[in-house]
Amino acid sequence: MDSSNLTSLPEEGSEETHNLHSAFSSIPARLPIQTSSQKYAPLDWSDYFDREDDIQIPDSDDVFHVYMAGTEGPVVFCLHGGGYCGLSFALAASKLKEKARIVAMDLRGHGKSATQNDVDLSIEVLSKDVSYYYELQYLMLLE
């Protein structure tokens, strides 16, 4: 190997190093670090739904939280999956409310609902909650 073609690198801090261009010299400055509360501030429910309510189930301490939107048309009853809440339907509700009434409840153990047993998420219990709640809402809509 012929070492006559090799040149030495300038010393760090010398005049010659300021004239060298690096692939890293064009990297933009990093944004300041944000806390999780700054990154993920919750949106207000009222930007998407028209109202919210707590429905007390008679003869129990169970309270189901519900979000509603729209004033006429068919009722679209929204049920979320595990780990979510009625607010999961916020974007859809903001559009659907122009042609339908939207009801999005927080199921037991989710969102702002509170029951005597928030951990029993069996299909039988959830079905009972939804049917009982829906009957109450349907009667209120008829009034």
pTM: 0.67
Q: Within a 10 A sphere around the Cβ of 73, how many other Cβ atoms?
A: 13
In terms of residue numbers, what domain contains 82?
A: 46-141
**Tally of domains in the chain:** 1
Has residue 77 been placed in a domain?
yes
- Give the CATH number of the domain where residue 59 resides: 3.40.50.1820
Structure token digits, residue 102: 């939207």
Has residue 6 been placed in a domain?
no
Lowest pLDDT segment from 5-9, 63-67, 106-110, 139-143: 139-143
Has residue 27 been placed in a domain?
no
Structure token digits, residue 124: 């039988």
Q: Within a 10 A sphere around the Cβ of 109, how many other Cβ atoms?
A: 16
How high is the pLDDT of residue 46?
95
Q: What is the pLDDT of residues 101-141, one digit of tens each?
A: 999 999 999 999 999 999 999 999 999 888 887 777 666 65
Has residue 29 been placed in a domain?
no
Q: What is the pLDDT of residues 31-60, one digit of tens each?
A: 677 666 666 667 799 999 999 999 888 888
Has residue 35 been placed in a domain?
no
Has residue 28 been placed in a domain?
no
